């Protein structure tokens, strides 16, 4: 299991190259996920041993960033990440909280795989 709290951004801490509605549609495809119209969601699997809480922030027709926190296996992490970003996972950044450490997504995921 991995535990995290992070903000997921596009390149240069810019917006994600997707819309709120596209992400909502992809998130609805995941089992055990509950989505609210305000952009908040929770995924709970394995009798509560895997939980991910998220909040989508959008403006001007684009998803600006996503606040994610939880604990889950790498497979669940990748399912959530793909639902948010689609198939394009290049050029994204994560801001790890509370340390406010900025990393590119690939470096963050490499650390997850090593520790998970």
pLDDT at 115: 63
> Which residue is listed with tokens 């989505």?
35
Query: Tell me: the pLDDT tens digits for 39-89?
Result: 999 999 877 799 999 999 999 889 999 999 999 988 999 999 999 999 887
pLDDT at 70: 95
Mean per-residue pLDDT of the chain: 92
**Architecture of the domain spanning 2-115:** 2-Layer Sandwich (3.30)
Structure token pair of residue 74: 């790498």
Residues 6+ apart with CB under 8 A from 77: 2, 4, 52, 109, 112
pLDDT at 39: 96
As a whole number of angstroms, the distance between CA 5 and CA 53 comes to 9
> Which residue is listed with tokens 């994600």?
16
As a whole number of angstroms, the distance between CA 78 and CA 84 comes to 10
pLDDT at 105: 92
Instruction: Produce one character per residue of 45-75: b if its CB has 16 or more CB atoms within 10 Å, e if not.
Output: beeeebbbebebebeeeebbbbbbebebbee
């Amino acid at each position: 299991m991995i535990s995290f709290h992070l903000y997921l951004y596009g390149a240069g801490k810019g917006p994600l190259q997707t819309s709120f509605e596209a992400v909502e549609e992809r998130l609805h495809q995941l089992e055990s996920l509950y989505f609210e119209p305000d952009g908040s969601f929770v995924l709970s699997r394995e009798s509560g041993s895997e939980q991910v809480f998220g909040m989508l922030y959008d403006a001007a027709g684009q998803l600006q960033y996503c606040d994610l926190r939880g604990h889950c296996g790498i497979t669940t992490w990748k399912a959530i990440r793909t639902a948010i970003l689609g198939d394009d996972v290049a050029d994204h950044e994560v801001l790890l909280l509370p340390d406010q450490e900025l990393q590119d997504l690939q470096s963050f995921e490499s650390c997850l795989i090593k520790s998970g």
